[in-house]
Chain A
Amino acid sequence: MSPVNLSTQLAGITLRNPILTCSGTYGFGEEYVAYCPLEALGGITLKGITPLPRLGNPVPRLAETPAGLLNAVGLENPGLEEFLKSYLPKVRKLPTAAIANISGFSLEDYVLLARALQKDSGLAALEVNISCPNVKHGGMHFGTDPQSAQEVIAAVKAETDLPVIAKLSPNVTDIVGMAHAVQLGGADALSLINTLLGMHIDINHQRPVLANTFGGLSGPAIRPVAVRMVWQVFQAVDLPIIGMGGITTWQDAVEFMLAGATAVSIGTGNFVNPLAPLEILQGIQDYCEKRGLASVHDLVGLAHRA
């Protein structure tokens, strides 16, 4: 039997395969090199950057919950200037596609970042995080109000020649409405989902565990929510979807693709098993082979058949 075609088209770019890693869980690409060969991945998404450097939130920034992880890193990052100077040259040398992730506190922030990141930077695409819940007065209102979401995506789109991926927050009542809005704004693809806002209280100390009180929940605990959102958005919007939220095994990844994800991204799962991206890729390949599918793309949205 001929091997399964893994090549994945997304927002005008061609990825080696549909496996990506999530922003904020994979640093700027170098940290996992000793554990997972990057050349085997479809691509990686870099830690979110803002125009100015940020120290982020105080510790504790992490709290474990049943099959989940709360984080309140608070967008710690070196800022645009330092990213361009010290990180981008190394990122360009990575043996896989690199997607930058941008965050802001105002429309101007997003515009500034988009202007600085063009095709000639060597990046494959720009993921726009309109949904980070860990920063007070942060991107959240862009992530929950369809009108602002549309405006921010349109503004980014007008500034950069890179494909633009809108990363949506699950902390909304109508995810389809948000997806429609960013499609109107001109997004080339969607990332679904960012973390769900949560908290954990230490009953011995009778205080919140996280210094920031609230944090974003990730990991297997959020997977059913993410799959549901991918399913709904796939039905309503004609844009490729990068599915993420709790993917740790190949079965999880297949589930997302059946729901409508063109590619999948692994975040917290890397912490559990740094080889997860490789094992997931192998698992998807075997699954396709067994089912007689010629291409991974044939899986996308398959569960929607009447």
Chain B
Amino acid sequence: MLTEGQVVVHESLGDEEQRLRRLVLKGPIARTAHAGQFVAIQVQDSSIASFDPLLRRPISIAGISSERDEITLLYRIQGRGTEILARAKCGERLSVMGPLGKGFSLPEKGELWLVAGGIGIFPLYPLAQSALAQGLTVRLFWGGENKSFLESAGLSSWKDLGIPLQLSTLDGSLGQTGLVTEQAQELLEKSTASGGQIRAAACGPKKMMQAVTELFKNYKVSVEVSLEERMGCAVGACLGCVCTLIDEAGVLIHRKVCQDGPVFRGEEVVWDESC
């Protein structure tokens, strides 16, 4: 769907140093959106024709309110495109394509473990909400750079969900020092030994998602991961955004992150960069 989203909230998120923004757009996308899907957003007002930057930017849907026809996007100012986006004012209309791609799936019952690295946390919030609404037990492992980052990137709304949170920071300023995987391992050991039915969803840096997939595989817990790639069309037409998977027959195949993903089963992803 190609729509015009009207900016209803656009604000800095937490500590300004973190360069995070919260953008709420009004429009029909909320009605069909699922956790893990994304939008391709034009970074300047759609009434002004401008071709620099040329391409839309892919941003995950971080909040869905179908009653209010609103989606929330949370993003980090990363470069020129997001810098320009950050200037959009309330009332402005931005051209948005979406909801795009295939999102996360939910198990029927049991536990859903969420594993996030950095801003990979953003698409996991609506997933946690749907999982809780469906009566699943949800738990979050989240690693970030430091306390300021975790607090800016929405820690308090996660606390509001009332689920167990296992936090880690690189500098130890909040939670444990180190990587999320170290935290998850101990609990995996215990939970799987007692026969718990667990599924996991991970989003973050590639290396982290690879480590999560490999660790969880040892405990026979399957993980869905959300991949990122540079995008052109965002609808599967240009083959700019492929990732490499290994199919059941052991053959390497390409899939489009924008259309077949961004969510894939971790076990089928070939993490080697050279493919």
Contact = CB atoms under 8 A, between A and B. Distances in A.
Interface of A: 24-27, 31-32, 34-35, 47, 55-56, 58-64, 66-69, 71, 73, 76, 219-220, 248-249, 268, 270-275
B59 to A, nearest CB: 16
Given A59-B243, A273-B95, A26 B237 contact: yes
Nearest to B42: A272
Nearest to A249: B49
Contact of B235 (A24, A35, A249): A35
B56 interface: yes
30 contacts: A24-B239, A25-B232, A25-B233, A25-B238, A26-B237, A27-B236, A31-B233, A32-B237, A34-B235, A35-B1, A55-B252, A58-B275, A60-B230, A61-B230, A61-B239, A61-B240, A61-B242, A62-B230, A62-B232, A62-B241, A64-B53, A64-B54, A73-B238, A73-B239, A248-B51, A271-B54, A271-B55, A271-B56, A271-B238, A274-B235
Interface string B1-29: 11000000000000000000000000000
B83 to A, nearest CB: 14
Nearest to A65: B54
Contacts of B230: 59-63
B202 interface: no
Contact of A271 (B232, B252, B259, B274): B232
A219 B237 contact: no
B238 A24 contact: yes
Closest 6 CB pairs of A and B: A31-B237, A27-B237, A62-B240, A67-B51, A31-B236, A62-B230
A57 to B, nearest CB: 9
A56 B273 contact: no
B242 A35 contact: no
Interface of B: 1-2, 42, 49, 51-56, 95, 97, 229-243, 252, 254, 259, 273-275
Given A58-B275, A61-B242, A31 B52 contact: no
Contacts of B239: 24, 47, 56, 61, 73, 76
A219 B230 CA distance: 17
Nearest to A270: B233
B243 to A, nearest CB: 7
Nearest to B97: A274
Nearest to A28: B237
Given A32-B237, A47-B239, A59-B230, 17 more contacts: A24-B238, A27-B237, A31-B235, A56-B239, A58-B275, A59-B241, A60-B229, A61-B240, A67-B51, A69-B232, A71-B232, A219-B54, A268-B54, A271-B234, A272-B55, A272-B56, A274-B97
